[in-house]
Structure 1
Amino acid sequence: MRWAILADVHANLEALTAVLDHLGEWEGARVICAGDIVGYGPDPEACAALLKSRRVACVVGNHDERVLGRIEPTHSAAVAAVGWAWTRRALSTESLSWLASLPLVLRPSAEIAVFHGAWENTQTYVASARAAKELLNHAVVRAPTARLIVCGHTHQPTMAANGLGFLPLTAGESGVDTRRLRGTWLLNPGSVGQPRDGTHLARYVRYDDDLGRVESFALPYEHERTREKRIRAGLPDPPHEEVPEKRPRRVAVARWLHWTL
């Protein structure tokens, strides 16, 4: 089975369209999204409608929950709360109902488990080797048949496996053969709509479970158009305090696998 893995769309229609158009050449893929469909961006309704029309299997993210009123904004996120209120008004009743129906944890197959932050907690950052190890250890109980755990939230494209560390995925490389990994492994595809690496590139991952192959992609999109729409809507710039303090070292996954397996 072919899997296209997305996360953190953040109401960025240009980025989401670029990813879905790019997937057109990869026939037969099932598409899954690890949450944060809305928040920050100017096109929540269009993104929700597009994901629904493409039958993308989604989980709810922390921004989705905040828009739904399930999570109260903290003092540090007061600026972002303006955007959540705007998003709530911009979404149709149908789209709000759809967001509210999304699960915290999704099992698209017996071997895959998907959530946004961590098990049943959309606000937890898995941004270190220790956090990844704890999450994978919980998988033994929470999803004993799962070989792949997918999460989002950090906006950092990364992979992790017990005993092998926590390192970034580099787009444009030849890919990673996951058959060499022992046990359950963790994948974060990065952010479709709000990259936090100083680029304007939409990130997503392709995973072929028959071949055991993971490939990471970074696609250009019309980011100035997105920015102009955000300004016209009166939306604030995304707050920097939501970026996790600790980020993984910039080491290629291929090198990591070479030295640790």
Structure 2
Amino acid sequence: MRIAVISDIHGNLNALRRVLDDIESQRAEDIVCLGDTVGYGPEPEECLSLVRERGISMVMGNHEQALADPAFLDGFNPHAREALRHTATFLSADSLDYIRQLPRFIVRHGARFVHGLPPESVGIYLFQADTRKLRGIFEAARERICFVGHTHELLLVWYDGERATKDELRPGLNPVVPSYRYIVNVGSVGQPRDGDNRAKYVIWNRKAHTVELRRVEYDYKDTAAKIIARGFDKRYAERLY
């Protein structure tokens, strides 16, 4: 079975549409979204509507969490806080209700899906966990593989029963040893921060024991122009270049 995992769309409808087209061409049988579909980008309502229209299961990201409960806004820097307040003005009451109902994690296909850090953290970054912390997470995990977002970076962390090792998630196929445990940091659809402005997502092939990193081109210049036109800080447009 081939499962597509997407994350951190951040209101970038151009990137989301192209990624969904690519997923369709790859004949993935399921799609899971790891949250942060909103925030920073110019079309949060449209992105949420498309995710829901396609029947894509989604967990809560830290941006959704802050929109659902403004008390969490204090955890953001001033620029991100203002971007979230601005994002809220573009969201319908129905979308806000949907956001409030999002789960903190999903377990499906024998895997765990969470925005931040397993087992169910919305806000902790993977890079905040040292090897000792990671070992404890792996030993407590019921699932052999977990997919996370939040950092906008690409990383493969594996545990062989003795050591937790951080490795690069490389373009193309990355083998997954069935007897090991893994955390896969899948990168960002809408705001990559790995020096490559293409949208990123992964396809997990359960049968072949691989995680494939796919990179998709989209019209990032159009998204950048929309960010500025809709009154967001230009820094979020500049990050797309």
- Paired residues in the alignment total 232
Q: How far apart in 2 are the matches of 1:13 and 1:78? A: 25
User: CA distance change for structure 1 residues 70 and 114 in 2, over 3 Å: closer, same or farther?
Assistant: farther
* Structure 2 counterparts to residues 73-222 of structure 1, below 5 A: 73-74=73-74, 77-109=77-109, 111-118=110-117, 119-127=119-127, 130=130, 134-135=133-134, 137-141=136-140, 143-144=141-142, 146-162=143-159, 163=163, 165-171=165-171, 173=172, 175-178=173-176, 180=177, 182-222=179-219
Question: Root-mean-square deviation (CA), in Å?
Answer: 2.0
Q: How far apart in 2 are the matches of 1:91 and 1:229? A: 16
Q: Which residue matches 2:72?
A: 72
Aligned-residue sequence identity (percent) comes to 30
Describe the SS at the equivalent of 1:87: helix
Q: Which residue matches 1:257?
A: none
User: CA distance change for structure 1 residues 208 and 214 in 2, over 3 Å: closer, same or farther?
Assistant: same
Opposite residue 33 of structure 1, the aligned amino acid is C
Higher strand share: 2
Any gaps of 5 or more consecutive residues in structure 2?
Answer: 237-241
Contact 2:135 2:164 (8 Å CA) reproduced: no
User: CA distance change for structure 1 residues 88 and 5 in 2, over 3 Å: closer, same or farther?
Assistant: same
Q: Which residue matches 1:61?
A: 61
Any gaps of 5 or more consecutive residues in structure 1?
Answer: 240-261
Contact 2:11 2:44 (8 Å CA) reproduced: yes
TM-score, structure 1 normalization: 0.82
Q: Which residue matches 1:45?
A: 45
User: CA distance change for structure 1 residues 113 and 236 in 2, over 3 Å: closer, same or farther?
Assistant: same
Contact 1:5 1:32 (8 Å CA) reproduced: yes
Contact 2:178 2:209 (8 Å CA) reproduced: no
Instruction: Say if 2:11 is the partner of 1:4.
Output: no
Q: How far apart in 2 are the matches of 1:63 and 1:75? A: 10
Q: How far apart in 2 are the matches of 1:128 and 1:159? A: 15
Q: Which residue matches 2:32?
A: 32
TM-score, structure 2 normalization: 0.89
